[in-house]
Structure 1
Amino acid sequence: MIKPKVISIAAVSGGGKTTITKKLGLGLKNSIELFFDEYDFQDCPPDLIKWVKEGADYNLWNLEPMIHDVESIAAKDTVSYILLDYPFSYKNDRMKELIDFSIYIDTPLDVAMARRLRRDYGQMNSGDILHDLDFYLNHGRIAYLEMEKSIKPNSNLVVDGTLPPDKIIEIIQRGIENV
């Protein structure tokens, strides 16, 4: 039985995790993608900003639904790669046991914010963009900086998030060749 390689892809919100995970899945034969945002995690910090200010203990996140899916897929011996759109790299002790290689897409915060705003407001006519910008400046930026401080240096490969997606995929594929 050949164990599939579990590859995690982290970045700040708007950093390109989902885009790169999907494109990498198309480029890697026999792969499956799992997306952090598609899970309804229970027993997790209810206030992200407070969690960061109190030290960002990644083990406070109960990631069992995603962990269960990774373990179930790996046990079936039907895929070569499990790609995780997952923001924590090796920082959660339970998930760390499953990850073979972690990638951090290093996207400048201004670029990530612009992408996030385009994504969130580009297809809807409601919401208050100024409120979201104020929240980011007064509270949310701390979570972005936490990722740069903790997740980026905890990754096996750091890729420039301003590169075109195809170039990022090329760099990642070279990086995981020997995993």
Structure 2
Amino acid sequence: MGQKPIIISIAAVSGGGKTTITNGLKKRLDNAKALYFDQYEFDKSPTDICKWVEDGADYNEWNLESLITDIQCILDDPTIRYIILDYPFAYLNDNISDCIDLAVYVDTPLDIAMARRITRDYSNNKWENIQSDLTNYLLRGRLAYLEMEKSVKPSSDIILDGSLSIEMIVEKIITEIKRKSRF
């Protein structure tokens, strides 16, 4: 193969479809590897997302060394053609921005994202837990969702409608990858 893998980042609010879309792309793209932001523990990084947003959401406060190290290891594998990052910041962290070839923002309406989160995270929980999470969302968490729409969305290369089917979103991303790889 001999060429550098194309690195695609997928951003969306929590419940916006990042992981499902990443998995869909991984299945459709030959020789693809996926990395998932939520599977990392980032040392010396914000622990309270809401407080981080309230304090100004400095994306460079995130120490992404472990993710960057994994990307560099994959870049050394000549069999990999695509690296798909389930990663919420697009180009906003200076330490990883130069690695990304295509930043995708999945613009999922907040009501759909919240419904997905409740369905995903609370299938076997008591109503009190759901109520507590919704109360926290209204008091503090919604600001984090709005921060993504304000900062991550406009810094992305393409913005896709998150209410589309996963298959349609994946197809649109593949079309964009093909279009960009011609240049």
TM-score range, shorter chain: over 0.9
The within-5 A match list for 1:32-51 is 32-51=33-52
Q: Deviations over 1:54-109 (max 9, x none)?
A: 11000000011010000110022220000000000000000101101000000000
TM-score (norm 2): 0.95
Say yes or no: does 1:125 pair with 2:89: no
Q: Which residue of structure 1 lines up, in the alignment, with residue 80 of structure 2?
A: 79
The amino acid of 1:19's aligned partner reads: T
| Secondary structure, aligned partner of 2:175 | helix
Q: Which residue of structure 1 lines up, in the alignment, with residue 6 of structure 2?
A: 5
TM-score (norm 1): 0.97
CA distance in 2, matches of 1:10, 1:89: 6
Q: Which residue of structure 2 lines up, in the alignment, with residue 135 of structure 1?
A: 136
Q: Which residue of structure 2 lines up, in the alignment, with residue 88 of structure 1?
A: 89
CA distance in 1, matches of 2:137, 2:125: 20
CA distance in 1, matches of 2:40, 2:140: 24
Gaps of 5+ in 1: none
Q: Deviations over 1:37-59 (max 9, x none)?
A: 11111100122111111110000
* Count of matched residue positions in the alignment of Structure 1 and Structure 2: 178
The amino acid of 2:15's aligned partner reads: G
The amino acid of 2:87's aligned partner reads: Y
Which aligned segments of 4 or more residues in structure 1 are displaced greater than 4 angstroms? none
Identity of aligned residues (%): 53
Q: Which residue of structure 2 lines up, in the alignment, with residue 112 of structure 1?
A: 113
Q: CA deviation at 1:125?
A: 3.2
The amino acid of 2:80's aligned partner reads: V
Gaps of 5+ in 2: none
